[in-house]
Structure 1
Amino acid sequence: MDTKHLLDPDDPTTAREVEDGLLESLGPVHFPPKRAEAVKLRLLDRIRASREAGKDFIRIRFDEGEWESLVPGVRVKRMQGDQRAALLELQPGAAIPFHRHHEDEECLVLRGRVELGEVSVGPGDYHLAPSGSRHGIVRSAGGALIYLRGTPIGHPLALARDMITALLPGEDVVPMTIPRDEGPWAHHAPGVDLKLLREDGGRRSMLLRLEPGAGAELAFGAADDCLQLEGEVSVDDVLLRAGDFGRPAGAGNHRRVTSATGGLMFMSCAG
């Protein structure tokens, strides 16, 4: 028997064809009226419960909110004003002038590659510019999308201060970079790992990595926030996709964090 043309469901190149063929062969299922009504009510109850569960968790989708022009070729969207969190998008060839930091600024790359002075960072890389450090010109040859936490962008006086003081002499603090593929991961739960990026000043920053189908209970304090870097992750019933920002709206508590597809999330936590 010639088997070379048979479809192997375990072969990723033919699995989709097998799946599509099976789905096309299935006919509609007709429930009796009473059962159909019961299924409908259960679905509506589930929708109401999901909406209720998401009331105390704020989500800002990547495609929501207003983008503002910062300099030619660079636009910014502020995510959380009190923590100075923002998304920054650089068009190919765009640049930001050199500046000095007066607060700790954390940077995560979502897309593309950015040159931070002499340091080059790409997707998933973490960069910390401590207070007192100075950046050379920030530029991206091919375009990039980055997340900044602690940035003065959106605060004109603080931004002007950072630009002016970069010209003054002073003892520079050295920034820190943790590439995506470097640094230890700690096992938290089956399919769930954590990488600690920074811990000082009463805050911790970390990466949360989930394999497809994995989940775990995590403490989410009222002062915590997160940004989805890759894939999709649900915090309780709130789905976060790449570029989405989230934080509790009220008192913090433990939340169920799961991912059907796998995902990578950045978290900033108090304590």
Structure 2
Amino acid sequence: MDRCQPCRVGPQDQHWQAAPQAPIRRWQLEREAPESGQVTSLVEYLPGARFPVHRHPAGEEILVLEGVFSDDSGNYAAGSYLRSPAGSEHAPFSEPGCLIFVKLNQFAGDDQATVRLAAGSANSVTFCTGVSGTLLHRHGCEQTWLLDCETGAELRWQGASAGELLLLSGRLTEAGQTHCAHSWLRDTRLGELGLRAAEPSRLLLKFGALRGLQEDPEQ
């Protein structure tokens, strides 16, 4: 997995695989190894699915996209954002089923924050012209945002350009290419690409956090 190389993954590239431990399906967007290392995935829990207790060697980050995700700490509806630091453990499950975006083993070494944010629990601010959003997490140069873009808004920001985004709804255009919901983009120049919303769009944006780049953590 070379994070210096740009990556674009869309719904047309779906490759769902059954997890060996539970009635769960995973679509791995990037990974170092099948069951270890740094992994970024979409994960679907079928109704009633339960996953065995497991530890997070270098942290776990989750955004709930659909349904209700649950673990020892509570129940989290769509829009909830969770961070579990290195060394934490849980036994996740979902009674109604859910779809989540998961990043495993990608925390900065000194980031020990536990985060449990319910949907709509944080204030929205202006991110750039035509784009508002909620800052979900900040650590050093790393920032994670949930953003809402007006039609025609261009996605740009100051600071670290390297980043990734998951398009939750709507459409983004990039140099004549259109990205639709559940498209995932990673690029060392993400903030300079001139991504533009073709319609009202919502996305998860992370920048300053591509672990493994030579220039990390400054990027």
For this structure pair, what is the TM-score category when the shorter chain's length is used for normalisation?
0.7 to 0.9
Q: CA RMSD in A?
A: 2.6
Q: Which residue of structure 2 lines up, in the alignment, with residue 138 of structure 1?
A: 92
CA drift of 1:87 comes to 0.9
> Would you identify which runs of 4 or more consecutive aligned residues in structure 1 move more than 6 Å?
none
Q: 1:267 to 1:119 in 2, by over 3 A?
A: same
Query: Which protein is richer in strand relative to its size?
Result: 2
Q: 1:210 to 1:93 in 2, by over 3 A?
A: same
Q: 1:96 to 1:235 in 2, by over 3 A?
A: farther
8 Å CA contact 2:50, 2:94 repeated in 1: yes
SS in 2 for 1:113: strand
CA drift of 1:269 comes to 0.9
Whether 2:29 is the aligned partner of 1:79: answer: yes
From 11, 19, 22, the equivalent of 1:62 is 11
> TM-score, structure 1 length as denominator?
0.63
CA drift of 1:259 comes to 1.7
Return the alpha-carbon distance in structure 2 between the equivalents of residues 186 and 236 of structure 1.
28
CA drift of 1:252 comes to 5.4
Matches within 5 A, 1:149-188: 149-150=103-104, 175-188=114-127
Taking CA–CA contacts closer than 8 Å with sequence separation of 6 or more, which of the two structures ends up with the larger relative contact order?
2
8 Å CA contact 2:131, 2:155 repeated in 1: yes
SS in 2 for 1:265: strand
Whether 2:200 is the aligned partner of 1:262: answer: yes
Whether 2:149 is the aligned partner of 1:215: answer: no
Whether 2:97 is the aligned partner of 1:147: answer: no
CA drift of 1:188 comes to 2.7
Quote the sequence identity (%).
24
Larger radius of gyration: 1
Cα offsets for 1:145-194 (capped at 9, x unmatched): 11101259xxxxxxxxxxxxxxxxxxxx7731112211122213343113
Unmatched segments (≥5 aa) in structure 2: 33-37, 107-111, 209-217
CA drift of 1:196 comes to 1.5
Q: Which residue of structure 1 lines up, in the alignment, with residue 136 of structure 2?
A: 197
Return the alpha-carbon distance in structure 1 between the equivalents of residues 159 and 200 of structure 2.
20
Return the alpha-carbon distance in structure 1 between the equivalents of residues 134 and 93 of structure 2.
27
> TM-score, structure 2 length as denominator?
0.76
Unmatched segments (≥5 aa) in structure 1: 1-55, 153-172
Q: Which residue of structure 2 lines up, in the alignment, with residue 118 of structure 1?
A: 73
SS in 2 for 1:92: coil
CA drift of 1:61 comes to 1.1
Q: Which residue of structure 1 lines up, in the alignment, with residue 211 of structure 2?
A: none
Return the alpha-carbon distance in structure 2 between the equivalents of residues 63 and 144 of structure 1.
21
What is the number of equivalent residue pairs in this alignment?
Answer: 194
